[in-house]
């Protein structure tokens, strides 16, 4: 007897459309290492509360086009690290750089990575070597996860749907003296939770890829145990409740979004459980079949910094802040070499699954304004906008945030070793690059 259901009909379509593979490698440091994200920390990690991972999901359409998404429990990829991973992946597996998306959860309870937020740390030579050694090993481990995914391709059902998160808040609190990190109930947010479901032809869940626009800062700088924060717990709970399945998290445009409440491990676990429950609710409900041809495009543009002078950094060299002093030293070295830092390379990527859904991947700590604007400008087809992808070189403020000032616009660049804020043209520069990659994958606004 044949039972004809809408779901069963979808399985028939899925089975001929896709192959998918999943790979994962543990990336928990083997020795004490400085945790990244908070300048207040003055000592290395004190243990492991939760293992951390690099996880890869490879997609292949019926024409043989391949794309790999990588999610990691890391503060962020530097350009040097992502370039190394991309080059090794292309050499070993023939995968173009445009077809590899490297995303980090930006957990502030994960290890420091070389060439990312270097100005934040005052390290001994031995402590710095631990980070160098970890980063060198990390490159190979991420490539290993990518290779495992590409080598595990099997017929797959791929579907997409969206849920809603509840715990992200806009953290840019307006006050008479400017902007501080707190809670702005009137500030923009995006509580969207996109969910890709990857299953075998018999319906068995193999993986979910999901995202949320919220900093992984539930836990503060007073805690020294390695873990993935709320994103790590969400993945853990999904995998515990679905033996054999892999959960992969992509951080979206959460640059100015914080979890609430925050401060305790119980809060991270609570947010993780909340997000995991929503992901599984979505994955068990009606979902849209992902169909069509894979297309990927990559654009490197330049974000220009506001004008600065040598005298500015000579004065900053005398500042009481050690972080400003260190930034000033780096900028003065650049001036001495007659190569003052005026701009920074910026990666923009688009991956389109037929006419079903497009993932836009932006570098840096992107504020939620970009997410909302890109979705609005490219309405009519499902669009997911991820930040923290391929290179996390600093905060990328919108024009609105730049004009308002505050940490995301100005002060954060001290810790990234950047000369200062971007110009007001930054938003249009990013959007122009987005439009170019979208056009290449067949999307127009």
pLDDT per position as a tens digit, 108-149: 999 999 999 988 998 999 999 999 999 999 999 999 999 999
* pLDDT tens for each residue of 4-31: 333 333 444 444 589 999 999 999 999 9
* pLDDT tens for each residue of 255-284: 999 999 999 999 999 999 999 999 999 999
Query: Which tokens belong to 111?
Result: 């290890």
Mean pLDDT across 180-188:
96
Has residue 436 been placed in a domain? no
* pLDDT tens for each residue of 283-321: 999 999 999 999 999 999 999 999 999 999 999 999 999
Amino acid 10: pLDDT? 42
Share of residues in the chain with pLDDT > 70 (%): 96
Claim to verify: residue 198 and residue 313 sit in the same structural domain: no
Claim to verify: residue 269 and residue 140 sit in the same structural domain: yes
Claim to verify: residue 181 and residue 329 sit in the same structural domain: no
Has residue 247 been placed in a domain? yes
Amino acid 12: pLDDT? 40
Residue 412: is its pLDDT beyond 80?
A: yes
Through-space distance between the first and last CA atoms of the chain, rounded to whole angstroms? 47
* pLDDT tens for each residue of 237-260: 999 999 999 999 999 999 999 999
Report residue 445's pLDDT band, with 50, 70 and 90 as the boundaries.
confident
Claim to verify: residue 35 and residue 170 sit in the same structural domain: yes
Report residue 3's pLDDT band, with 50, 70 and 90 as the boundaries.
very low
**For the packed helices 79-93 and 125-150, what is the interaxial angle rounded to 10 degrees?**
30
Residue 210: is its pLDDT beyond 90?
A: yes
Q: Which residues pair with 168 in a beta bridge?
A: 259
C-alpha to C-alpha distances, 274 to 213, 270, 299, nearest whole angstrom: 14, 6, 36
Claim to verify: residue 379 and residue 310 sit in the same structural domain: no
Claim to verify: residue 69 and residue 203 sit in the same structural domain: yes
Claim to verify: residue 277 and residue 223 sit in the same structural domain: yes
Claim to verify: residue 128 and residue 70 sit in the same structural domain: yes
For the beta carbon of residue 80, count every other beta carbon within 10 angstroms.
15
Has residue 441 been placed in a domain? no
pTM: 0.95
Claim to verify: residue 261 and residue 325 sit in the same structural domain: no
Query: Which tokens belong to 197?
Result: 């479901």
Least confident of 1-15, 33-47, 375-389: 1-15
Q: Cα(37)–Cα(116) distance, rounded to whole angstroms?
A: 10
Has residue 355 been placed in a domain? no
Amino acid 340: pLDDT? 97
Has residue 234 been placed in a domain? yes
Claim to verify: residue 278 and residue 312 sit in the same structural domain: no
Claim to verify: residue 336 and residue 384 sit in the same structural domain: no
Has residue 385 been placed in a domain? yes
Q: Which residues contact 147 (CB under 8 A, 6 or more apart)?
A: 23, 89, 92, 93
Q: Spell out the SS3 assignment of 267-323.
A: HHHHHHHHHHHHHHHHHCCCCEECCCCEEEEEEEEEEEECCCCHHHHHHHCCCCCHH
Has residue 371 been placed in a domain? yes
Q: Cα(347)–Cα(103) distance, rounded to whole angstroms?
A: 12
Has residue 409 been placed in a domain? no
Range of the structural domain that residue 23 is part of: 6-292+362-392
Q: How many domains does the chain have?
A: 2
Claim to verify: residue 201 and residue 311 sit in the same structural domain: no
């Amino acid at each position: 007897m044949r039972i004809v259901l809408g779901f069963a009909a979808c399985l028939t379509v899925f089975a001929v459309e896709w192959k998918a593979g999943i790979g994962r490698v543990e990336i928990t440091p083997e020795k004490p290492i400085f945790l990244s994200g908070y300048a207040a920390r003055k000592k290395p990690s004190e243990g492991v509360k939760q293992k951390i991972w690099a996880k890869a999901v490879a997609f292949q359409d019926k024409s043989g086009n391949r794309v790999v998404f990588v999610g990691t429990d890391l503060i962020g990829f530097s350009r040097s690290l992502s370039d190394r991973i991309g080059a090794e992946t292309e050499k070993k597996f023939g995968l173009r750089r445009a077809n590899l998306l490297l995303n980090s959860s930006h957990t502030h309870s994960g290890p420091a990575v070389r060439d990312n937020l270097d100005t934040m740390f005052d390290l001994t030579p031995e402590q710095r070597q631990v980070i160098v050694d970890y980063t060198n090993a990390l490159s190979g481990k991420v490539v290993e996860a990518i290779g495992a995914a590409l080598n595990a391709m099997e017929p797959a059902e791929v579907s997409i749907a969206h849920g809603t998160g509840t715990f992200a808040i806009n953290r840019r609190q307006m006050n008479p003296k400017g902007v501080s990190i707190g809670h702005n109930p009137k500030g923009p947010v995006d509580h969207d939770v996109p969910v890709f479901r990857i299953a075998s032809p018999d319906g068995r869940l193999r993986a979910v890829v999901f995202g949320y626009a919220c900093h992984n800062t539930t836990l503060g700088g007073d805690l020294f145990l390695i873990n993935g924060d709320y994103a790590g717990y969400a993945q853990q709970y999904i995998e515990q409740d679905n033996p054999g399945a892999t959960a992969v998290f992509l951080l979206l445009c959460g640059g100015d979004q914080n979890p609430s409440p925050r401060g305790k491990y119980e809060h991270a676990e609570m947010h993780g459980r909340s997000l995991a429950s929503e992901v599984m609710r979505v994955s068990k409900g009606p979902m849209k079949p992902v169909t069509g041809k894979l297309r990927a495009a990559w654009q490197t543009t330049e974000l220009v910094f506001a004008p600065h002078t040598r005298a500015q950094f000579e004065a900053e060299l005398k500042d009481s802040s050690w972080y400003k002093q260190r930034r000033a030293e780096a900028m003065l070295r650049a001036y001495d070499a007659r190569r003052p830092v005026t701009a920074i390379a910026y990666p923009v990527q688009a991956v389109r699954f037929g006419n079903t859904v497009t993932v836009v991947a932006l570098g840096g700590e992107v504020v939620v304004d970009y997410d909302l604007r890109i979705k609005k400008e490219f309405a009519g087809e499902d669009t997911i906008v991820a930040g923290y992808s391929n290179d996390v070189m600093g905060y990328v403020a919108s024009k609105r945030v730049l004009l308002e000032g505050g940490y995301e616009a100005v002060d954060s660049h001290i810790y990234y070793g950047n000369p200062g804020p971007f110009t007001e043209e930054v938003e249009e520069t990013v959007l122009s690059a987005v439009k170019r990659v979208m056009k290449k994958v067949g999307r127009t606004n």
